[in-house]
Every structure is written in structure tokens, then in C-alpha cells.
Amino acid sequence: MCSTKKYRRSLSRCKRCIQLLKICQHDVNKIAVFLRCFNRKVPMNLFREAKRLNLKYLGIILVLLLIMADIGYSRRQFLSVGTAPPGGAFFVVGSAIAQVVNDNLGDLSWQVSAEATKGTQENIRRLRNSELDFALANAAISYFAVRGQGAWKEKYPVRVIMTLAPNVAFFITRKSSNIKKIIDLKGKRAVVGPAGAGFEYFLKPILQAHGVSYQDFTPLHNTQLGSVDMLADGSAKAAFLGGAVPTASIVQASASQDIFFIPFDEEAKKQLFENYPFFAPATIPANTYRNQLQPFDGMNVGSMHLVTSADVDEKKVHHFTRILYEHRHQVAKKHPAGKAINPKNIVRNTGTPFHPGAIRYYMDIGIWPKDQ
């Protein structure tokens, strides 16, 4: 949209210049000859042609050349990658993806930049409205958005480019608490994530599988680090935390308090894995956090993934996917989550359809699963 407007404005300025200066058709033809010489990129011919044609409007030519340069600039495609608020993994990884693609464009006339947003839900809406070209999203939220379920009143045309890092999350409490199972949350005060972040899309199914609903306890909203503070001062008895492992908020909680990881019920996990493709097993190795002496069977509650809209051009998505995959190691240098850009993980199905442009690239390099 922006490029088209600039192009039209440039043409309009060009027409006004000619009208205001009342250039006769004869001189316009001379200028056209001169500009064709310029377009052939033969610099030594410029002054020779100007002298031969005895041009009176050299200043006008310079104006036209500037306009041509403006038109060329406006043809550059500006592509945006929606992320999340600064400070989280989405913002860092999204910024890394934008920079890596932008640094390896080759002959493509793109300008790729990351944009801070409120997160997955805003990204999905803005993709639909063509206000973003690409975005990071949580796989659980995308799953419901593409189906028009939950709070989504219509089906959103979300399409996956690649599946990225897992989001390993679970409830924690203080060791001195009497909460030992998820069902023990009933009647307690528990933090369920930042308001408007969309945690309910994966948290409600988890609670339901354990026989608990939001009506059974007092749900509180706060950031992950804010949740740790609420545990410390006793204003909350449990908090749902997670992200890439190790998660900064859990590192802080385990460093400042004696905490207990509330386990998932095995039957509940089995039910979740069967019903929702975005849930997956995820074991946290022993000693990842202070006083965590044994591995913990957590759960991937919805991977980070790179998405776009179904309306985005297939060739554009193919190029973007190719550049990002070929230079994936540069992303990993900027954030550990970049290691998830590997042949096995990026094509993992989380319940949201892949974009045809991404599928075509994965088929080209032989990593697209035959049964998917």
C-alpha cells in the first residue's frame, strides 16, 4: 500500500512539473531522448547528448531524475514481522528473524523490519487486515483462531511458515504450600498470565483435563516476573509460568524461594495430546533450576511459530522461508530459540495449516513429511 501511494505521488509531481513549466511537446521529446540515454546507464554520454540536443531545461531533467529515483525507492517492498512487547522471547526472536532475512536478500528489493506488538492475538488480527506480512504466534492461539473457536468469532486465515521453539509451561507453588496437584488449586488464588495475552487458550484445556475450571479458583493476572513477586509475598498461592527452557521467571523464583513444580496428571496429559495437536511432551532436565534434582515431565503448551496470512503471495513466502532456513544459524547466534529452526522441528504439525509457499520450499529440499 505504502509503495503504491509513493509511486502515484511521484507520477503526480512529474505531471505537475511539466504542466507548470509549460514545456512544449518538442522539448519533452528531447528530454525523453536524454533520459533514455541515462536509463541505458552510459554516464559518459550524458553531457554529449545534452550538448547535441541543445537542451534548455537541464534543471527540469534533474528534477525528473530525482523523481525517477523516488519511484525506484517506492518500488522497494517494506515487509513487517509482528512480534510482542520488548523484553520477551517473541520480540528478540522476531527481531533476529527480520534482521537475518534483511541481511541476506540477494537481488530482492525488500526492506524487512520487526515490529513490537501486544502479542499473538494482535498479530493474527493485523495479518488478516494486511497490516503485517509475517508474525510470531503461539500455536495454541493460532489453532483456535483458524477455526473461529473460543473468543474468535470468525475463522482467521492464519498459515504457518515454520514451527519454532517449544513453550514449556506448568504451575509452580512454594514448597510450604499444601498444593501438590492441579486439582488442589480449587479455592486458591493463582496467577494465570498477563491480561489479554491469550494464556486461556492452552490453560483452560489443561485445567479441564484435570477437573478444574476458572470458576473453581481465583484467577489473577500479572507478568511472569510479577507472578514470582506475588508468590513471594503470599498474594498468590500458585502461578502458571513458562517459555523457552530455562525460563527467566522460573530461574528467579527458584533462586529466591523454595518452589515446588506442580505435576501434570498422566491421564490428563494423554487426553490433551490426543485432542489438541499443539500440546506435546517436554521433559525439563535435572538441575535446570536450583534444587531441581530430578527431571520434570512438563508439557509444550503451544510452540512459538512463524505465521502469515493465506492471502500472502506464494512466491514471497517461498523466498522468505528459503532465506530464513538457509541462514538459520545466524538466528541461533542471536537467541537460543533459533536452534529450533532445524529440519525435523520446523515442519512439525501443530494444528494450523502451512502456507503453500513454505510447503513448496520444504518439498524442494526434501524435508516435508509425506504423511502431512
Mean pLDDT confidence for 33-46: 45
Q: Where are the alpha helices (DSSP H) in the chain?
A: 2-21, 25-39, 45-53, 58-74, 89-103, 120-128, 139-147, 200-209, 224-233, 248-256, 266-275, 314-326, 328-334, 356-364
**Distance in angstroms (rounded) separating the CA atoms of residues 65 and 151:** 53
The reported pLDDT for the residue numbered 21 is 42
Contact 262, 171 (CB under 8 A): yes
Long-range contacts of 362-367 (CB under 8 A, 24+ apart): 362/321, 365/325, 367/343
**Distance in angstroms (rounded) separating the CA atoms of residues 341 and 323:** 12
Q: Comparing C-alpha atoms, which of 21, 36, 109 is closest to residue 316?
A: 109
Q: Examine the pLDDT at 260 and tell me if it is beyond 80.
A: yes
**Distance in angstroms (rounded) separating the CA atoms of residues 168 and 241:** 8
- What the block records as the C-alpha cell of 160 is 504457518
Contact 136, 304 (CB under 8 A): yes
The reported pLDDT for the residue numbered 262 is 98
The reported pLDDT for the residue numbered 52 is 54
Tens digit of each residue's pLDDT (9 = 90 or more) over 119-156? 999 999 999 999 999 999 999 999 999 999 999 999 99
Query: With bands split at pLDDT 50, 70 and 90, how would you rate the model's confidence at 67?
Result: low
Kindly give, in sequence order, each residue whose CB lies less than 8 Å from that of residue 246, ignoring residues fewer than 6 positions away: 288, 289
Q: Examine the pLDDT at 314 and tell me if it is beyond 70.
A: yes
Q: Examine the pLDDT at 13 and tell me if it is beyond 80.
A: no
- What the block records as the C-alpha cell of 164 is 519454532
Percent of the chain with pLDDT over 70: 80
Q: Provide the pairing of β-strand 158-163 with 304-309.
A: antiparallel
The reported pLDDT for the residue numbered 85 is 83
Query: 77-164+304-364 belongs to which homologous superfamily?
Result: Periplasmic binding protein-like II (3.40.190.10)
Q: For the whole prediction, is pTM greater than 0.85?
A: no
CA atoms within 13 A on the CB side of 236: 25
The reported pLDDT for the residue numbered 61 is 58
Q: Examine the pLDDT at 83 and tell me if it is beyond 50.
A: yes
The reported pLDDT for the residue numbered 56 is 52
The reported pLDDT for the residue numbered 53 is 53
The reported pLDDT for the residue numbered 18 is 45
- Count CB atoms within 10 A of the CB of residue 346: 23
The reported pLDDT for the residue numbered 78 is 95
Q: Examine the pLDDT at 318 and tell me if it is beyond 50.
A: yes
Of 149 and 43, the structure prediction assigns the larger pLDDT to 149
Give the best-scoring range by mean pLDDT among 38-52, 57-71, 358-372.
Answer: 358-372
Percent of the chain with pLDDT over 90: 70
Mean pLDDT confidence for 75-96: 89
Of 2 and 349, the structure prediction assigns the larger pLDDT to 349
CATH number for the domain running over 168-300 = 3.40.190.10
The reported pLDDT for the residue numbered 66 is 59
Q: Comparing C-alpha atoms, which of 127, 164, 170 is closest to residue 145?
A: 127
The reported pLDDT for the residue numbered 283 is 93
Of 311 and 44, the structure prediction assigns the larger pLDDT to 311
Q: Between the CA atoms of 57, 63, 69 and 70, what dihedral angle is there, to the nearest 10 degrees?
A: -150
Mean pLDDT confidence for 180-199: 94
Mean pLDDT in the chain?
86
CA atoms within 13 A on the CB side of 258: 3
The reported pLDDT for the residue numbered 336 is 87
Q: Comparing C-alpha atoms, which of 291, 293, 206 is closest to residue 242?
A: 206
CA 17 to chain centre: 43
Query: With bands split at pLDDT 50, 70 and 90, how would you rate the model's confidence at 48?
Result: low
Q: What are phi and psi of 126, to 5 degrees?
A: -75, -30
